[in-house]
Amino acid sequence: MNEELLGKYKLVVGMEVHVQPKTETKMFCGCDANIWGAEPNTHTCPTCLGLPGALPVPNLDGVKKAQLLGLALNCTLNNDSRFDRKHYFYPDLPKGYQISQYKQPLCENGSLSLESGNTADIERVHLEEDVAKSFHEGGKTLVDFNKSGLPLIEVVTRPCFRSIEDAVDYCKKLQVICRYLGISEADMEKGQMRLEANISLRTGEMEEKDELSPYKVEVKNINSFKYMEKAVRAEIVRQREILEKGEMPKQENRGYDEFKNITVAQRDKEEASDYRYFPEPDIPPMVFDEKYFNELRAVEGSLPQSLRDVMEKKGVAKEQSRILVEVMGAAVVEKFHKLIEGGLDAVKAATVLINRKDLFELNVEEILNKIKGEGEKVSDTGEIRKVVENVMEKNQAAVTDFKNGKESALQFLLGNVMREMKGKADASVAIETIKELLKK
């Protein structure tokens, strides 16, 4: 974390992430959930419009996907769970309350390992319904109820992040998990994943005593990882200025204005008591047994971290496994395994997919044939070392980046070595040589 940004203060961030699970219908009615690009108010019924007498019926697929995400985040799945009414009044909430979960969520007390070695502390994973969407034009407010009643999984962490980088990494990993397990497309442009950061600053003395600040500011509805980083930075600047005046930031909800690069006040931040929660009387409590949970656990082998662990056991570097699994995606991981089945070494397969742009678009058979046609690999340490030294001399910025903790710089240097040697360098020897020289 940049000390120039924080000054004498320490950052504390907790995340609330909303994910729209991929279901055929809405959360409590039979309306088509595929609303992207649809005409306004064409995916509605008495239930999602909140009309008197209409009763909700929970979507089991939405429940399963929330629990599946809970398992992936190492949560405890509750045998007994229920829905609650959360009361607040906005024009895009037709009933005057939202069906959500409060006392007995589907999943609690999880964790997720981060690239930094730190751990995200998950408080709960619960399920709720989305609200409608308001449009403000010509002094009038128009409401589209297509979004009203869509299922939403909310993942809430404790105030566990001490750097912007960890908070962003957590959100990226959450998106990857959702995609690998088929829980959600998590397309942020379509609003299928929305980020909300609870931000506060505290002194070093407070941090030593593990004391939290008496306030927190929630920056809501952030729709990209880049904007999230910018929003947190902007809020740090604002809060620090207030604290340095001897004042206390107000506990409130704010939005991020990407054009001005500032956060703007929206409304006071409510406490749980303000929502007047009580059990949803129209939906009976949900009870789950171990047989049901064991069926959900059967998918654990396809988790991103499991895929990375398999790669790393085969000798693939940690940064390479992260790029293949979390950046390049499931289709590339499948190609990686097929290359190994075709006789290619795991390290070489990873290097080809990441660094050989001339081969990436080819199918597996074409890649294997191309590599065989290139002849024997150069594994002579002395020859490779000369090329590595030359590449590092030409790319001092990448060398500096690596020494400052930017792991991706290693792949950049390796890619340049492979290009210089026309793909004939033994990738494992090249990586070890680069690492050795970077330590000097």
For the segment 274-289, the average pLDDT, to the nearest whole number, is 93
Is 307 within a domain? no
Same domain, 43 and 187: yes
Residue 306 within any structural domain of the chain: no
Would you say residue 263 lies in a domain? yes
The residue out of 327, 357, 375 marking a domain boundary is: 375
Tokens of 212: 């939290």
How far is residue 42's CA from residue 83's CA, in Å, rounded to a whole number?
Answer: 27
Percent of the chain whose predicted confidence (pLDDT) is above 90: 60
Residues 122 and 27 both lie in one domain: yes
The answer on 407 and 371 residing in a single domain is no
Q: What are phi and psi of 151, to 5 degrees?
A: -70, 145
pLDDT (mean) for 372-376: 65
CATH number where 422 lies:
1.10.10.410
Contacts of 34 (CB under 8 A, 6+ apart): 24
pLDDT tens per residue across span 390-405: 888 888 888 888 877 7
**Do 188 and 216 have their domain in common?**
yes
- The reply to whether 68 and 102 lie within a common domain is yes
**Whole-number percent of the chain with pLDDT over 70:** 96
Q: Are residues 231 and 285 in the same domain?
A: yes
Cα dihedral sign for 55, 84, 295, 119?
positive
Q: Is residue 136 part of a domain?
A: yes
Task: Domain of residue 269: give its range.
Answer: 3-297
- 14 forms bridges with which residues in the sheet? 198
**376 pLDDT tier (thresholds 50, 70, 90):** low
Higher pLDDT, 438 or 1: 438
137 is a domain residue: yes
The last residue of one of the domains, among 375, 396, 428, is 375
Same domain for 265 and 167: yes
d(CA 237, CA 387): 45
Task: HSE, CB side, 13 Å, CA atoms: give it for residue 388.
Answer: 25
The pLDDT tens digits for 211-251 are 999 999 999 989 999 999 999 999 999 999 999 999 999 99
3-class SS letters over the chain: CCHHHHCCEEEEEEEEEEECCCCCECCCCCCECCCCCCCCCCCCCCCCCCCCCCCCCCCHHHHHHHHHHHHHCCCEECCEECCEEEECCCCCCCCCEEEECCCCCCEEEEEEECCCCCEEEEEEEEEEECCCEEEEECCEEEEECCCCCCEEEEEEECCCECCHHHHHHHHHHHHHHHHHCCCCCCCHHHCCEEEEEEEEEEEHHHHHCCCCCCCCEEEEEECCHHHHHHHHHHHHHHHHHHHHCCCCCCCEEEEEECCCCEEEEEEECCCHHHHCCEECCCCCCEECCHHHHHHHHCCHHHCHHHHHHHHHHCCCCHHHHHHHHHHHCHHHHHHHHHHHHCCCCHHHHHHHHHHCHHHHCCCHHHHHHHHHHCCCCECCHHHHHHHHHHHHHHCHHHHHHHHCCCCHHHHHHHHHHHHHCCCCECHHHHHHHHHHHHCC
On whether residue 305 sits in a domain, the answer given is no
Choice between 334 and 89, residue whose per-residue pLDDT is larger? 334
Residue 224 confidence (pLDDT): 93
Dihedral sign from CA coordinates of 135, 137, 139, 142: negative
Domain-embedded: residue 77:
yes
Which distant-in-sequence residues (6+ apart) come within 8 Å of 123 by Cβ? 108, 109, 156, 157, 158
Q: How confident is the model at residue 375 (pLDDT cuts 50, 70, 90)?
A: low
For the chain, the average pLDDT equals: 90
Residue 89 has pLDDT above 80, yes or no: no
Reply yes or no on whether the pLDDT at 377 is more than 70. Answer: no
Tell whether 345 and 390 lie within a shared domain: no
pLDDT in tens, 104-154: 999 999 999 999 999 999 999 999 999 999 888 888 889 999 999 999 999
CB count within 10 Å of CB 341 equals: 11
Same domain, 136 and 202: yes
pLDDT over threshold 60, residue 1: no
Task: State the total domains in the chain.
Answer: 3
Instruction: Mark whether 40 and 156 lie in a shared domain.
Output: yes
Regarding whether 170 and 278 lie in a shared domain, the answer is: yes
Q: What pLDDT is attached to residue 48?
A: 93
Q: Which residues in 313-328 are b (16+ Cβ under 10 Å) and which e? A: eeebbebbbbbbbbeb
Residues 265 and 388 in one domain: no
pLDDT at 374: 66
Does the residue 337 lie in any domain? yes
What is the average per-residue pLDDT within 268-276? 72
pLDDT tens track for 2-58: 678 888 999 999 999 999 999 999 999 999 999 998 999 999 999 999 999 999 999
